[in-house]
Structure 1
Amino acid sequence: MTVTLKAWSANAGNALGRFLQSTSGKIGLFLAIAIILLALLAPVLHPYDPSTDRNYLTRLKPPSAQHWWGTDGLGRDVLILVWYGLRTSLSVGLVSVLLGLTIGVLLGLVAGYFRGWLETAIGWLTDILLAFPSILLAIAVVTITGPSLPSVMIAVGVVQVPIFIRLTRSMVLSLREQEFVQTVIAFGATPARIIFRHILPASLAPIVVQATLSIGTATLEAAGLGFLGLGAQPPTPELGTMLSDAFKNGYSLSAPWTVLFPGLMITLMVLAFNLLGDGLRDALDPREGY
């Protein structure tokens, strides 16, 4: 046990050192932390009630000292809307990736370890899900469940499932032939113990990297559903919905700030988690071989 802990500590130290050498990783980490803190502190720093936030006397005002990012067609402060829209989009990204990761990893573990008809059935499911473009699959799920924030989380989570199935299955197929796994099998360990105590921990590095990258993808897909009117419903602020309202009402040219700032925030969120994922990939797998 002592040797294992020492080896783990050494690997963790090496990974941290490689991460600190990654410029993209450090930038992504800084941006991701800033985004998460802004989302968490929003109700504390500026309590907000979207159902009462409107002032028709100040509609479509350009950026000024009173409204730094201007106002929208209902007289709402765009900065506050983007701030709380960031909170909504981040929640969707985190919950949907957690959902897709949980289901995908479990199915990938089962398919890779037990093989046989289970692997075939899960492989068919994966192929069916991957046969559809991700946004079309998400639209189909939301259409069935009805437009709402929980529906978006489920839809985007379903899109992430086959990604984690394939990744986990490939890791399990490689690891189950390794000497340390064969040794545990020879000692008569149960499949559950082998999977969750030995194979899964050894597979965490690529899973963590993929989860980080998937947060950016999930955020973009959630914004796309919001733009199509299938995401969070009014008056809940959401970045994709803000873009949709601006384009539908013709504000993109007459009041470009109603499009510019929500679009920039979506871009910043995707960039942050992509850079963080790249940094984690370089740190956890310097060969970049998975």
Structure 2
Amino acid sequence: MKLSDHKACQRFWQSSSGKIGLGLAIAILLVALLAPILNPYDPSTDRNYAARLQPPSIQHWFGTDGLGRDLLDLVWYGLRTSLVISLVSVGLGLLVGLLLGLVAGYFRGWLETIIGWLTDILLAFPSILLAIAIVTVTGPSIKSVMIAVGVVQIPVFIRLTRSMVLSFREQDFIQSVHVLGATPGRIIFRHILPASLPPLVVQATLDLGTATLEAAGLGFLGLGAQPPTPELGTMLSDAFKGGYSLSSPWTILFPGLLITLTVLAFNLLGDGLRDALDPRSSL
């Protein structure tokens, strides 16, 4: 199924989950992109201790946190940080997993064995524990979280890409171009890879939601973005560590709501794309 197939577009627009997910994803991306324009914010200086822990009001729509910072500003910029982490980590996992999966599926032999061992080793650990171990070794930072969450995504894309390559490499159109003298590189990147893109796009979209949760989890544990950089998981952690999550519930409500909406948006969008690009999955 091609990404440009008109029937696939029609099926997507007939999918309620796909349309809702797309609308939510666009809204979330616009909020994150326009945050610096709508309200410039300096997390190191924009604080007012006299206004700390104020409930939602006309002046502060989402209330304020323990340092007197406007929670709406923090949520906007925290969402921006979380999205950057998710997009970069999934892109890293997709790139590395795609290349290794193509090599393992097409060339087989000892290369497939070694890549298979690597995949099994990565899958042997629960994803969040593997991410925690990587961040612990590399040190808490946004860059470390990107690497850790990206590494967790790699085996998923290796297995998916390898299975797609194995299904295509024996088909008649691949055998035909091979007989005509096409090089392995041309066969892989001009014929096999384009045919494998739809399921990879679906998986990457779904993994954006997973990456958002994992990044928030690392931030909650204090292993993600470090102060004063705002990040949704770190904001939840600050509220719990400060001991005002119950007395000032808005400090956890709005960051948690943005995490939930982000994960929901990418999951619904991924379901819509899966139904559109692979109609058999909805049967």
TM-score by length of 2: 0.98
Partner amino acid for 1:238?
A: E
**CA distance in structure 2 between the partners assigned to 1:8 and 1:252 by the alignment:** 48
Match of 2:133 among 140, 157, 161: 140
Match of 2:26 among 1, 8, 33: 33
Match of 1:48 among 28, 41, 50: 41
Deviations 1:71-101 (A, max 9, x none): 0100011111001000000000000000000
**Could you say what secondary structure the match of 1:288 adopts?**
helix
Aligned position for 1:202: 195
Aligned position for 2:238: 245
Deviations 1:94-147 (A, max 9, x none): 000000000000000000000000000000000000000000010111111110
1:178 aligns to 2:171 (yes or no): yes
Match of 1:216 among 194, 205, 209: 209
Deviation at 1:53, TM superposition (A): 1.3
Match of 1:192 among 174, 185, 192: 185
**CA distance in structure 1 between the partners assigned to 2:202 and 2:95 by the alignment:** 15
Deviation at 1:204, TM superposition (A): 0.2
1:1-290 equivalent positions in 2, closer than 5 A: 12-288=5-281
Worse-matched range after superposition: 204-213 or 249-258: 249-258
**Could you say what secondary structure the match of 2:280 adopts?**
coil
Deviations 1:247-286 (A, max 9, x none): 1111111100001100000000000000000000000000
Deviation at 1:288, TM superposition (A): 1.7
| Dislocated runs of 4+, deviation >2 Å | none
Deviation at 1:8, TM superposition (A): 6.0
Deviations 1:3-40 (A, max 9, x none): xxxx969x610000000000000000000011111111
CA contact (8 A) 2:57 2:63 kept: yes
**CA distance in structure 2 between the partners assigned to 1:87 and 1:8 by the alignment:** 32
Identify unmatched segments of 5+ residues in structure 2: none
Partner amino acid for 1:284?
A: L
Worse-matched range after superposition: 95-104 or 11-20: 11-20
Identify unmatched segments of 5+ residues in structure 1: 1-6
**CA distance in structure 2 between the partners assigned to 1:98 and 1:27 by the alignment:** 24
Partner amino acid for 1:90?
A: L
**Could you say what secondary structure the match of 1:62 adopts?**
coil
**CA distance in structure 2 between the partners assigned to 1:254 and 1:40 by the alignment:** 32
RMSD: 1.2
Aligned position for 1:3: none
Deviations 1:139-161 (A, max 9, x none): 11111111000110010000000
Identical amino acids, percent of aligned pairs:
80
CA contact (8 A) 2:101 2:157 kept: yes
**CA distance in structure 2 between the partners assigned to 1:62 and 1:38 by the alignment:** 22
Deviations 1:45-64 (A, max 9, x none): 11110000110000000111
**CA distance in structure 1 between the partners assigned to 2:172 and 2:134 by the alignment:** 43
Partner amino acid for 1:130?
A: L
**CA distance in structure 2 between the partners assigned to 1:136 and 1:60 by the alignment:** 34
Deviation at 1:189, TM superposition (A): 0.7
TM-score by length of 1: 0.96
